[in-house]
Structure 1
Protein backbone atom coordinates (compact mmCIF):
# COMPACT_ATOMS: atom_id res chain seq x y z
CA UNK A 1 0.00 0.00 0.00
CA UNK A 2 1.29 3.45 -0.85
CA UNK A 3 1.21 6.31 1.59
CA UNK A 4 -0.48 9.59 0.60
CA UNK A 5 1.64 12.60 -0.22
CA UNK A 6 2.01 15.08 2.60
CA UNK A 7 3.39 17.95 0.54
CA UNK A 8 1.97 19.99 -2.33
CA UNK A 9 2.84 19.10 -5.88
CA UNK A 10 3.50 21.61 -8.66
CA UNK A 11 0.43 22.59 -10.71
CA UNK A 12 -0.58 20.36 -13.58
CA UNK A 13 -0.09 21.96 -16.99
CA UNK A 14 -2.94 20.93 -19.26
CA UNK A 15 -2.51 20.51 -22.98
CA UNK A 16 -3.46 23.36 -25.32
CA UNK A 17 -6.58 21.44 -26.34
CA UNK A 18 -8.26 22.37 -23.06
CA UNK A 19 -7.56 26.07 -23.58
CA UNK A 20 -8.81 25.81 -27.15
CA UNK A 21 -11.97 24.07 -25.94
CA UNK A 22 -12.66 26.83 -23.41
CA UNK A 23 -11.66 30.00 -25.27
CA UNK A 24 -11.80 29.40 -29.03
CA UNK A 25 -14.77 30.77 -30.92
CA UNK A 26 -15.53 31.91 -34.45
CA UNK A 27 -17.27 35.28 -34.74
CA UNK A 28 -19.57 35.93 -37.68
CA UNK A 29 -18.03 38.41 -40.10
CA UNK A 30 -19.78 41.78 -40.01
CA UNK A 31 -21.58 41.14 -36.70
CA UNK A 32 -21.02 44.01 -34.28
CA UNK A 33 -22.01 41.94 -31.24
CA UNK A 34 -19.49 39.21 -32.12
CA UNK A 35 -16.78 41.82 -32.71
CA UNK A 36 -17.42 43.43 -29.31
CA UNK A 37 -17.38 40.03 -27.59
CA UNK A 38 -14.10 39.04 -29.26
CA UNK A 39 -12.58 42.32 -28.07
CA UNK A 40 -13.87 41.59 -24.55
CA UNK A 41 -12.41 38.08 -24.79
CA UNK A 42 -8.98 39.42 -25.72
CA UNK A 43 -9.00 41.96 -22.91
CA UNK A 44 -10.05 39.33 -20.36
CA UNK A 45 -7.32 36.93 -21.50
CA UNK A 46 -4.72 39.72 -21.32
CA UNK A 47 -5.84 40.55 -17.78
CA UNK A 48 -5.91 36.83 -16.89
CA UNK A 49 -9.59 37.01 -15.95
CA UNK A 50 -10.31 33.47 -17.08
CA UNK A 51 -13.96 33.35 -16.00
CA UNK A 52 -14.76 36.50 -17.99
CA UNK A 53 -12.80 35.14 -20.97
CA UNK A 54 -14.78 31.90 -20.92
CA UNK A 55 -18.06 33.81 -20.65
CA UNK A 56 -17.19 36.00 -23.66
CA UNK A 57 -16.14 32.99 -25.76
CA UNK A 58 -19.32 31.13 -24.83
CA UNK A 59 -21.43 34.15 -25.81
CA UNK A 60 -19.74 34.30 -29.22
CA UNK A 61 -20.37 30.58 -29.76
CA UNK A 62 -24.02 30.87 -28.67
CA UNK A 63 -24.85 34.20 -30.32
CA UNK A 64 -27.75 33.56 -32.72
CA UNK A 65 -27.46 34.45 -36.39
CA UNK A 66 -29.97 33.92 -39.13
CA UNK A 67 -28.86 31.16 -41.47
CA UNK A 68 -27.96 32.41 -44.93
CA UNK A 69 -30.63 31.59 -47.46
CA UNK A 70 -33.22 31.02 -44.77
CA UNK A 71 -36.51 32.82 -45.38
CA UNK A 72 -39.66 33.11 -43.30
Structure 2
Protein backbone atom coordinates (compact mmCIF):
# COMPACT_ATOMS: atom_id res chain seq x y z
CA UNK A 1 0.00 0.00 0.00
CA UNK A 2 1.30 3.43 -0.95
CA UNK A 3 1.45 6.02 1.80
CA UNK A 4 -0.94 8.93 1.44
CA UNK A 5 -0.81 12.38 3.02
CA UNK A 6 -4.09 13.87 4.22
CA UNK A 7 -4.65 17.51 5.17
CA UNK A 8 -7.64 18.65 7.20
CA UNK A 9 -7.55 22.15 5.71
CA UNK A 10 -10.09 23.77 8.08
CA UNK A 11 -7.87 22.80 11.04
CA UNK A 12 -4.68 24.28 9.54
CA UNK A 13 -3.38 27.32 11.46
CA UNK A 14 -0.75 28.29 8.85
CA UNK A 15 2.25 27.73 11.13
CA UNK A 16 4.46 26.59 8.25
CA UNK A 17 6.15 23.85 10.26
CA UNK A 18 5.14 21.23 7.70
CA UNK A 19 6.84 23.19 4.94
CA UNK A 20 10.03 23.47 6.98
CA UNK A 21 10.01 19.75 7.79
CA UNK A 22 9.07 18.44 4.33
CA UNK A 23 9.39 21.16 1.65
CA UNK A 24 9.07 18.66 -1.21
CA UNK A 25 5.67 17.55 0.07
CA UNK A 26 4.11 20.72 1.54
CA UNK A 27 3.80 24.38 0.63
CA UNK A 28 1.61 27.26 1.79
CA UNK A 29 -0.92 29.39 -0.06
CA UNK A 30 0.32 32.93 -0.62
CA UNK A 31 -2.89 34.65 0.46
CA UNK A 32 -3.47 33.05 3.86
CA UNK A 33 -0.59 30.64 4.57
CA UNK A 34 -2.80 27.56 4.72
CA UNK A 35 -0.90 24.37 3.90
CA UNK A 36 -0.99 22.74 0.48
CA UNK A 37 -0.07 19.11 -0.15
CA UNK A 38 2.21 19.04 -3.19
CA UNK A 39 2.54 15.26 -3.29
CA UNK A 40 -0.27 13.14 -1.79
CA UNK A 41 1.78 9.98 -2.37
CA UNK A 42 5.36 10.92 -1.45
CA UNK A 43 8.18 8.52 -2.26
CA UNK A 44 9.53 6.32 0.52
CA UNK A 45 12.66 8.44 0.90
CA UNK A 46 10.51 11.40 2.04
CA UNK A 47 8.35 9.53 4.55
CA UNK A 48 10.56 10.36 7.55
CA UNK A 49 10.22 14.07 6.70
CA UNK A 50 6.46 13.69 6.35
CA UNK A 51 6.23 11.89 9.69
CA UNK A 52 8.14 14.77 11.28
CA UNK A 53 5.77 17.29 9.67
CA UNK A 54 2.77 15.38 10.98
CA UNK A 55 4.22 15.31 14.49
CA UNK A 56 5.10 19.03 14.43
CA UNK A 57 1.73 20.28 13.21
CA UNK A 58 0.30 22.32 16.11
CA UNK A 59 -3.27 21.89 14.85
CA UNK A 60 -3.03 18.14 14.15
CA UNK A 61 -4.23 18.92 10.62
CA UNK A 62 -1.95 16.37 8.93
CA UNK A 63 -2.11 12.62 8.73
CA UNK A 64 0.02 9.98 7.03
CA UNK A 65 -2.06 6.95 6.05
CA UNK A 66 -0.36 3.65 5.28
CA UNK A 67 3.13 4.88 5.92
TM-score (norm 1): 0.36
Larger Rg belongs to:
1
Bigger share in strand: 2
Bigger share in helix: 1
Higher relative contact order (CA 8 A, sep 6+): 2
